[in-house]
Structure 1
């Protein structure tokens, strides 16, 4: 009698025992494959083009690592409706060069955040040539849907130059926005005068605001030189992961 009751409660499946066992295993595997819910899926895209020298590179990596050890970040990370976020980090340069240095990780505790910070500390520092913001957006867009499901999907793009490699930024931006991805920017202003004879380009902060960022609540953080990078990236990421961020300016600035 008990056996008949067991078979009757297996979704009406009249399967022999071996097939029933395989079915149950398949159901278990499907449950394991379901994405893990988080408050935010955040992709950190870090510029390593040739305009970023070794000292500036270290400022960037140190700035990112410090965020995940910051008390205000920990509080913001754990006080959302779900109480966790998912984060990954890659570097980018030429249209065909993106290095996925720190894989996706679920951060739901100070210990998890410290592990992510340590992974940034240990990541290799490699510089390349050109600046392909468009390829960085494309690469970042394809990183979502890998084990996590956030209420928001955000790409955080840092850079100190305009797009000079790959397809048009407008096309990459449009494709990302069509997927429901929010694009935020961190523009690092270089105060070094351009070489003689080089025509001035559009100011980088204006370029990022007009051509890069987009999506609901998108904003731009401007760092006044790499000396301001640590402060800028801390403020930026905390704002990005806030459960209910108050309305803020489209452009924020960090100085020294």
Structure 2
């Protein structure tokens, strides 16, 4: 009887543990990296983009920005997006709290196959980022979606304006990387892509656009963007010490552009 009683107690404890809600982890930032994997991007360009992010996340200045924050850690996930039915989580939520974690994230990013294709559905990509943040299991002081693309057009899925408004209303900031170089990302837009990002895509307090206009500046643009996001540098702060392309900030949470 005692053995049976012990078994019953053990089963009850196991059941209680299994269904107990997970405790959210506090950290400085939840960051969704949404990278363009639409039809204009070939496999070589996918690898080039990933390498830029892998180099940036392991950069000493980026790691220093992470460790200098209140909690000294952030959570990052990398998603490639194409059409409305194609958003692939390449690397799931990973807590970066030092060089080893950053290196592991970078290695996973470079090893995964490409799975996202199709014409631009930026609205769908933004809503995917929102869902990932809401289900992350983390509790970031700040929550950011970072979208890179060689176009501001959204050809299918929910309207971009509607998706952007929903994300910003949830307290999530949208930043952007406007990619102008051919090898960095497919066919760069023949209009002012930085201005289009500022008007149509970014949103939330302190949101901004960084432009990559050549192969040489792509990794540097990604690095600069990550530092700005991780350190939460305000638009008014002098960021001349960070080398790389210029930054265009949103005027406020509702108005994009300068």
Range into which the TM-score falls when normalised by the shorter chain: 0.7 to 0.9
Q: Is the 8 A contact 1:52 1:127 kept in 2?
A: no
Are positions 1:184 and 2:175 aligned together? Answer: yes
Are positions 1:83 and 2:76 aligned together? Answer: no
What are the superposed Cα offsets for residues 29-74 of structure 1, whole Å, 9 maximum, x if unpaired?
Answer: 647x110001000000010112123332222010000012100011
In structure 2, do the counterparts of structure 1 residues 46 and 26 end up closer, same or farther at CA, with 3 Å as the change threshold? Answer: same
Q: Is the 8 A contact 2:86 2:116 kept in 1?
A: no
Superposition TM-score, scaled by structure 1 size: 0.80
Are positions 1:254 and 2:245 aligned together? Answer: yes
- 1:142 is paired with a residue of what secondary structure? helix
Q: Please report how far the alpha carbon of residue 118 of structure 1 lies from its aligned counterpart in structure 2 after TM superposition.
A: 0.8
- 1:135 is paired with a residue of what secondary structure? helix
Q: Distance in 2 between matches of 1:206 and 1:247?
A: 17
Q: Is the 8 A contact 1:42 1:87 kept in 2?
A: yes
Q: Which has the larger radius of gyration?
A: 1
Q: Distance in 2 between matches of 1:38 and 1:180?
A: 16
Q: Which residue of 2 aligns with 1:146?
A: 136
| 2:38 maps to which of 36, 49, 68 | 49
Are positions 1:102 and 2:85 aligned together? Answer: no
Q: Distance in 2 between matches of 1:174 and 1:127?
A: 25
- 1:60 is paired with a residue of what secondary structure? helix
What are the superposed Cα offsets for residues 232-252 of structure 1, whole Å, 9 maximum, x if unpaired?
Answer: 11100111011x524358xx9
In structure 2, do the counterparts of structure 1 residues 30 and 178 end up closer, same or farther at CA, with 3 Å as the change threshold? Answer: same
The count of corresponding residues between Structure 1 and Structure 2 is 228
Q: Distance in 2 between matches of 1:248 and 1:66?
A: 27
- 2:132 is paired with a residue of what secondary structure? coil
Pairwise CA RMSD: 2.8
Unaligned residue ranges in structure 1 (runs of 5+): 1-17, 193-199
Q: Which residue of 1 aligns with 2:158?
A: 167
Q: Which residue of 1 aligns with 2:225?
A: 236
Q: Which residue of 2 aligns with 1:214?
A: 203
Q: Is the 8 A contact 1:59 1:227 kept in 2?
A: no
Q: Is the 8 A contact 2:38 2:118 kept in 1?
A: yes
Q: Distance in 1 between matches of 2:214 and 2:154?
A: 19
In structure 2, do the counterparts of structure 1 residues 229 and 117 end up closer, same or farther at CA, with 3 Å as the change threshold? Answer: same
What are the superposed Cα offsets for residues 75-133 of structure 1, whole Å, 9 maximum, x if unpaired?
Answer: 11111111110000110011110011101011112111111111111121356230111
Unaligned residue ranges in structure 2 (runs of 5+): 1-7, 184-188, 247-258
